[in-house]
Amino acid sequence: MIPGLLRMRADMIVLATLLLTFVLRSTKIKSLYLSKFALKEGVLHDSK
């Protein structure tokens, strides 16, 4: 178990990692800003 990760979210971490990897590779995004808030407040930003 990862400290701070809710048990109900643990089963989604692998799928989320695969999806994020796919998005980053297919869009050639070089960096991310990590939000400390919920997903709906998070933003992917393509820095050029």
pLDDT, tens only, 1-46: 678 878 888 778 888 889 988 988 999 888 877 767 665 555 555 5
CA neighbours within 13 Å on the CB side: how many for 7? 0
Q: What is the pLDDT of residue 44?
A: 56
In whole angstroms, give the CA distance from residue 28 to residue 12: 24
Q: What is the pLDDT of residue 20?
A: 87
pTM of the model: 0.53
Q: What is the pLDDT of residue 18?
A: 92
DSSP annotation of 37: S
| Helical residues (DSSP H) of the chain, grouped into ranges | 7-10, 13-27
Q: What is the pLDDT of residue 22?
A: 92
Q: Residue with structure tokens 């991310």?
A: 32
In this structure, what token pair is assigned to residue 17? 């990692």
Q: What is the pLDDT of residue 38?
A: 62
